[in-house]
Amino acid sequence: MIQVESLSKSFTLHNQGAAVIPVMRDAELTVKPGECVALTGASGAGKSTLMRMIYGNYLSDSGRIWIGGTDVVTARPHDILALRREVMGYVSQFLRVVPRVSTLDVVAEPLTTLGQEVEAAQARARELLTRLNIPERLWTLSPTTFSGGEQQRVNIARGFAHDYPVLLLDEPTASLDATNRDVVMSLIEEAKMRGVAILGIFHDEDARTRLCDREIDVTRFTPVAG
């Protein structure tokens, strides 16, 4: 479902003496449906960079990223938007929200964007917010003022609202208490059972042991200096 082939990237900092910083060379990985694969490696090794390249948030210099039948590296913006709507979900550590939009609508939005009825989308949002222990009195408020852990859970609820065949998870269990970490892991397990291909960064070793079928150390994709 996710197939990365000889993927390379460097950043060119035009305003800092046109410094070229190679960050990834010949990255290869495959994630099959129903599989959960963890990216590992020290901070700065390029785990998030690789995730962002797969999501189309960062450009790639060369190589291929196959999501189903679409190559993210060469796809037009229009096709990547469709891919993100229907196929590929991404849960990052940080929630980026519009001021004044209620939590319920933030979570339901991926479904309404796909054309689902507002009622059904909100019912799904309620279900997820309940599971993730977000008190009902907060649902009508914008998550902008929520605590870090609450925002993260809203973010997770949003990421799981639509049943994406591909999920990218950037530290989904960070800054959560034990109860909620367990809820999130159950959500991920259920997604695996449905046949979702999951690629994730998990700093929490328990989460890796419980969820992941394989680990890929991205250090081996790090270009050697000089």
Partner 1 sequence: MIPLLSVNGIEKRYGARIGCKDVNFDLYEGEVMGIVGESGSGKSTLLNCLAGHLAPDHGEVLFATRHDGMRNTLTMSEPERRMLARTDWAFVHQNPRDGLRMGVSAGGNVGERLMSIGARHYGQIRQTAGEWLDRVEIAEDRMDDRPSSFSGGMQQRLQIARNLVTAPRLIFMDEPTGGLDVSVQARLLDLLRGLVRQMGLSAIIVTHDLAVVRLLADRLMVMKGGHVVESGLTDQVLDDPQHAYTQLLVSSVLQV
Judged by the rule CB under 8 A, the positions of this chain that interact with partner 1 are 11-15, 52, 56-59, 77-78, 80-81, 96, 98-101, 112-113
Residue with tokens 């390379």, as numbered in its chain: 8
Q: At closest approach, how far in Å is the CB of 14 from partner 1? A: 3
DSSP per position, 91-134: E-SS----TT--HHHHHHHHHHHTT--HHHHHHHHHHHHHHTT-
What pairing do the DSSP bridges indicate for beta strands 19-31 and 2-13? antiparallel
We find the least distance from the C-beta atom of residue 77 to partner 1, in angstroms, to be: 5
We find the least distance from the C-beta atom of residue 109 to partner 1, in angstroms, to be 8
Cα separation, 139 vs 142, in Å, equals 8
Q: Give the residue with the Cβ less far from partner 1, 139 or 185.
A: 139
Q: Least distance to partner 1 from the beta carbon of 208, Å?
A: 27
Task: Please report how close the Cβ of residue 197 comes to partner 1 at its closest, in angstroms.
Answer: 22
What are the residues whose beta carbons fall under 8 Å from the beta carbon of 192, sequence distance 6 or more?
Answer: 34, 35, 36, 198, 211
Residue whose tokens read 């998030």: 48
Nearer to partner 1, 56 or 159 (CB): 56
Q: How far apart are CA 53 and CA 58, in angstroms?
A: 5
Nearer to partner 1 by C-beta: 80 or 87? 80
In the bound state with partner 1, the residue whose beta carbon lies nearer, of 73 and 129, is: 73
- CB closer to partner 1 out of 101 and 183: 101
